[in-house]
Amino acid sequence: MPRDQPDWIIERRRDLGERIADLRAAAHHTQETFCATTGISRSTLQRIEAGEADPRYGDLLRIAAALDKSISTLVDPPR
């Protein structure tokens, strides 16, 4: 992945991916079942959860809906 973004953005992207993966697992979804529910390809979900891709807004909406969470729960770090 090119390092064309500041470290803090790369860190936040990784945090977001970890949070999505943790919430997905807590909801008892495999990547396969989650992808079927959201319509997001497995390769895209893998890249998002690994912090290698910036999810599109539509993807965040679908992820949040499938997890019954708000987008802010996904993107805001816990306090």
Q: What is the CATH number of domain 30-74?
A: 1.10.260.40
pLDDT tens by residue, 39-71: 999 999 999 999 999 999 999 999 999 999 999
What is the reported pLDDT for 14? 96
Look at residue 77 in the predicted model and tell me its pLDDT: 73
**Distance between CA 1 and CA 15 in Å, rounded?**
16
Render pLDDT for 21-37 as a digit per residue (tens, 0 to 9).
999 999 999 999 999 99
Give the pLDDT score at 4. Answer: 82
Residue 13 has pLDDT above 60, yes or no: yes
* Distance from C-alpha of 20 to C-alpha of 46, rounded to nearest angstrom: 11
Rounded to an integer, the average pLDDT of 15-23 is 96
> What's 68's DSSP letter?
T
